[in-house]
Amino acid sequence: MERARPHLTRRRLLQGAALTAVPFALLPGTRAAAAGTRTVDCPAAEWAPASTANYTASSRPVSHPVDRVIIHVTQETYATTLSIFQNPQKNVSAHYVVRSADGHVAQCVREADIAWHAGNWDCNTRSIGIEHEGWVDRPDCFTDALYERSAGLTASVCARYGIPMDRAHIIGHHEVPGTDHTDPGPDWDWVRYLRLVNFV
Ligand SMILES: [Zn+2]
């Protein structure tokens, strides 16, 4: 983030003014911004990339069909989850993280790439992983905004890959074969969530 930079000098401001005369497309920063925009698969998401050490680069759905959405709960705060995904030592990531308070969505891994979220390689290769800020024993974290924004995201994913919007294809981490994870837990309202996914 550049916004908080405290030492924005007059000289720098003037340089900035001079740059406005340069054609928009020739600015290196503009190209970087454009590339960043292209990386987000869901237009409403903010790009918050995971370390490249924490997922497998791929070319889905050409390399692997995508036919599942896997729902997770972080057991960490939103900010801590993003920092874990950015830590190359952690060996974990998900495509998206949804913030509890307002449903804000961060995209951490491109959908074409294989995020490491299910603890099961076959499931990882065929799924989009969505983390939700919260704890399995704290249903107050599952806000209206979180359900609504997540459902919109899942509906978008399902529409783009032709995934049926049902419980056979939108599953919890606890339903991944061989897992010992319990998320999203008994307080996750699947009936409500599936209704939202189907009617957004
Ligand atoms: Zn999980």
CA of 185 to the centre of ligand 1 (A): 10
- Is-cis flag, bond preceding 61, omega within 30? yes
CA of 14 to the centre of ligand 1 (A): 49
Using one digit for the tens of pLDDT, what is the confidence trace for 114-153? 999 999 999 999 999 999 999 999 999 999 999 999 999 9
Please state, for a pLDDT cut of 90, what percent of the chain lies above it: 78
Using one digit for the tens of pLDDT, what is the confidence trace for 166-180? 999 999 999 999 999
Using one digit for the tens of pLDDT, what is the confidence trace for 39-98? 789 888 999 999 999 999 999 999 999 999 999 999 999 999 999 999 999 999 999 999
Instruction: Report the C-alpha gap between 59 and 175 in whole angstroms.
Output: 26
CA of 36 to the centre of ligand 1 (A): 27
CA of 131 to the centre of ligand 1 (A): 7
Report CA Rg, the chain: 19
What pairs with residue 197 in β-bridges?
Answer: none
pLDDT at 77: 98
Q: Where are the domains of the chain?
A: 10-39, 46-199
CATH topology of domain 46-199: Lysozyme-like (3.40.80)
Picking from 92, 99, 111, 100, the residue whose alpha carbon sits closest to that of residue 41 is 111
Instruction: Report the C-alpha gap between 42 and 128 in whole angstroms.
Output: 12
> What residues does the ion ligand 1 have nearby, CB within 5 Å?
72, 173, 181, 183
Token pair 């989850």 is found at 81
CA of 165 to the centre of ligand 1 (A): 20
